[in-house]
């Protein structure tokens, strides 16, 4: 037995299992090799490295769950390049759906969409940035800058360590995919730009937002088709509420309006050739849009202490899976997400005054969603207002929930309910108040925002008046 291990008790228990097998059982003494010069130098070098900042600064106290508020909002979409113009379009019931304008659009069966026309990235970014940013990242950064500016936050120092970003997208850098497939397959080139991969990856927007503002806490991307933004915002809400972060930038973006993007969706046969008419008996499909919405979710006490202007409070979130069909929706799955969000928010059905519907304008989605809402709310469903703003800004897929959250904030803060435009004929299977064609003034104290995605993935947020 080695002289150092000859004692009984704690000394023997503290030795590694391998050493004990080699010396205790065999009764032989192992000599300790002295570290060589290289090993000593390596240890000294490691010891000289300053300790890293914590991945997420501890901000949760003993009081339990924190309240979460929204202190900034930003957007880019077909209705406008900022929040003010988007809300004005909601109030006016103005559609952003127009003829599409991009390469080879004449080869498409579907030639309408809610496109951000005359988008000029040179107005906002330098040449090097444009080489790195797909259009969905460009939209995201512009929206994030507006949101952060409104919040009045600066992420230098400690706040940056406990702040992060989680965003939703379904297609990520789809324009970059489309452009470079052309380069390789159509033009026959054998090389693409070295920035293609970092430009098209789904986490590109979240990464660039974290770098732009110095957000060193949680940073990642959620991809759950049409529910991506709601899932992202729900996770951001949970992180701030739990104390895992003090501030989170969150929302989502999409830029699928290119030849390859629309051609793929044409194959599903769910697209309308002439307009988006959610809940109307003569609806015949969805219309795609593009854009981004970004919000600042902040700890309530932190926001109050600095005198922030609070836009709304996020009070609940729930998600569910239909586990049934890859494209057909389930009323039961949607209902479970709706009731789960109300339960998480401690809201009774009669507390909710408005729902921003998923409302795609397809035959299956709209009647399924109405059935889910009617069952979840019972008799109160007849007194609810529910509208689909996709009739104006189109279906922005992974970014749609983020742009739609603006309508929820408008309802709570301004007392204006965005309409469902394009509504022409009542549908007995959608017999709810869908706020047809004209915005409505009404005071509401709590709202829900629904998102029900392909794959049977459902995510519902609950907000309350600040």
pLDDT tens track for 125-136: 999 999 999 999
User: Any catalytic annotation for residue 162?
Assistant: no
- Per-residue pLDDT at 64: 78
Please state, in angstroms and rounded to a whole number, the distance separating the CA atoms of residues 334 and 450.
8
* All structural domains of the chain: 69-464 (3.40.47.10)
The count of residues in the chain is 466
Per-residue confidence band for 55, with pLDDT thresholds at 50, 70 and 90: very low
Range 250-255 average pLDDT: 98
Q: What is the pTM of this model?
A: 0.87
Under a CB-based contact definition with an 8 Å cutoff, are residues 341 and 447 in contact? no
pLDDT exceeds cutoff 60 at 454: yes
- Per-residue pLDDT at 14: 42
Closest among 222, 216, 225, 246 to 235, alpha carbons compared: 222
- Per-residue pLDDT at 207: 98
The bridge status of strand 163-168 relative to strand 219-222 is parallel
162, 226, 258, 276: which one is catalytic? 226
pLDDT exceeds cutoff 80 at 9: no
370, 395, 408, 430: which one is catalytic? 395
Please state, in angstroms and rounded to a whole number, the distance separating the CA atoms of residues 463 and 445.
8
Range 415-420 average pLDDT: 98
Range 76-81 average pLDDT: 98
Under a CB-based contact definition with an 8 Å cutoff, are residues 244 and 218 in contact? yes
User: Any catalytic annotation for residue 258?
Assistant: no
pLDDT exceeds cutoff 70 at 63: no
Phi then psi for 98, rounded to 5 degrees?
-140, -175
DSSP state of 350: G
User: Any catalytic annotation for residue 226?
Assistant: yes
Under a CB-based contact definition with an 8 Å cutoff, are residues 453 and 326 in contact? no
Output the CA–CA distances (angstroms, integers) from residue 56 to 53, 274, 303, 340, 358, in the order listed. 8, 49, 19, 28, 34
pLDDT exceeds cutoff 80 at 438: yes
231, 300, 302, 358: which one is catalytic? 358
Give the mean pLDDT of the chain: 90
CB count in 10 Å sphere of residue 9: 7
- Interval 145-193: pLDDT, tens: 999 999 999 999 999 999 999 999 999 999 999 999 999 999 999 999 9
Which positions ≥6 away from 463 have C-beta within 8 Å? 70, 312, 313, 314, 315, 405, 408, 409, 412, 446, 447, 448, 449
Per-residue confidence band for 213, with pLDDT thresholds at 50, 70 and 90: very high
Please state, in angstroms and rounded to a whole number, the distance separating the CA atoms of residues 365 and 362.
6
Please state, in angstroms and rounded to a whole number, the distance separating the CA atoms of residues 413 and 298.
17
Closest among 118, 237, 102, 236 to 166, alpha carbons compared: 236
- Interval 315-367: pLDDT, tens: 999 999 999 999 999 999 999 999 999 999 999 999 999 999 999 999 999 99
pLDDT exceeds cutoff 90 at 220: yes
**To the nearest whole percent, how much of the chain has pLDDT over 90?**
86
Strand order in the sheet with 385-387: 219-222, 163-168, 247-254, 291-299, 68-77, 312-321, 457-464, 446-453, 354-356, 385-387
Please list the residues that pair with 452 across neighbouring strands.
458
3-state secondary structure of 215: coil
Both structure tokens of 138: 């460009």
């Amino acid at each position: 037995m080695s002289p150092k291990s000859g004692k009984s008790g704690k000394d023997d228990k503290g030795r590694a299992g391998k050493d004990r097998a080699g010396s205790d059982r065999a009764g032989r003494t192992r000599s300790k090799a002295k570290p060589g010069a290289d090993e000593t130098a390596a240890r000294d070098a490691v010891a000289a490295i300053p300790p890293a900042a914590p991945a997420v600064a501890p901000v949760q106290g003993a009081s339990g769950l924190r309240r979460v508020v929204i202190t900034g909002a930003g957007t880019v979409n077909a209705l406008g390049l900022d929040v003010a113009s988007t809300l004005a379009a909601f109030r006016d019931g103005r559609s952003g759906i127009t003829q599409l304008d991009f390469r080879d659009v004449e080869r498409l069966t579907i030639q309408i969409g809610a496109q951000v026309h005359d988008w000029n990235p040179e107005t906002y970014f330098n040449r090097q940035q444009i080489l790195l940013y797909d259009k969905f990242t460009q939209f995201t950064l512009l929206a994030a800058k507006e949101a952060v500016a409104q919040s009045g936050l600066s992420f230098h120092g400690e706040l940056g360590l406990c702040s992060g970003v989680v965003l939703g997208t379904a297609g990520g850098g789809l324009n970059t995919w489309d452009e470079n497939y052309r380069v390789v397959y159509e033009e026959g080139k054998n090389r693409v730009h070295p920035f293609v991969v970092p430009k098209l990856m789904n986490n590109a927007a979240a990464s660039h937002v974290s770098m732009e503002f110095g957000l060193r806490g949680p940073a990642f991307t959620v991809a759950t088709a049409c529910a991506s933004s709601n899932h992202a915002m729900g996770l951001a809400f949970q992180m701030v509420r739990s104390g895992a972060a003090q501030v989170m930038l969150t929302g989502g973006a999409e830029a699928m309006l290119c030849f390859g993007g629309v051609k793929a969706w044409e194959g599903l046969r769910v697209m309308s050739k002439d307009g988006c008419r959610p809940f109307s008996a003569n609806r015949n499909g969805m219309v795609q849009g593009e854009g981004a919405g970004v919000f600042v979710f902040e700890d309530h006490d932190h926001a109050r202490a600095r005198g922030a202007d609070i836009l709304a409070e996020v009070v609940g979130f729930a998600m569910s899976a239909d586990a049934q069909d890859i494209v057909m929706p389930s009323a039961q799955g949607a209902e479970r997400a709706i009731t789960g969000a109300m339960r998480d928010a401690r809201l009774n059905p009669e507390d909710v005054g408005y729902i921003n519907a998923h409302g795609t304008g397809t035959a299956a989605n709209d009647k399924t969603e109405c059935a889910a809402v009617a069952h979840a709310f019972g008799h109160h469903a007849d007194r609810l207002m529910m509208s689909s703003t996709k009739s104006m800004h189109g279906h922005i897929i992974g970014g749609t929930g983020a742009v739609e959250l603006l309508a929820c904030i408008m309802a709570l803060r301004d007392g204006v309910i965005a309409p469902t435009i394009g509504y022409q004929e009542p549908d007995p299977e959608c017999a709810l108040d869908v706020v047809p064609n004209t915005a409505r003034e009404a005071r509401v104290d709590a709202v829900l925002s629904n998102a029900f995605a392909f794959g049977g993935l459902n995510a519902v947020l609950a907000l309350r008046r600040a």
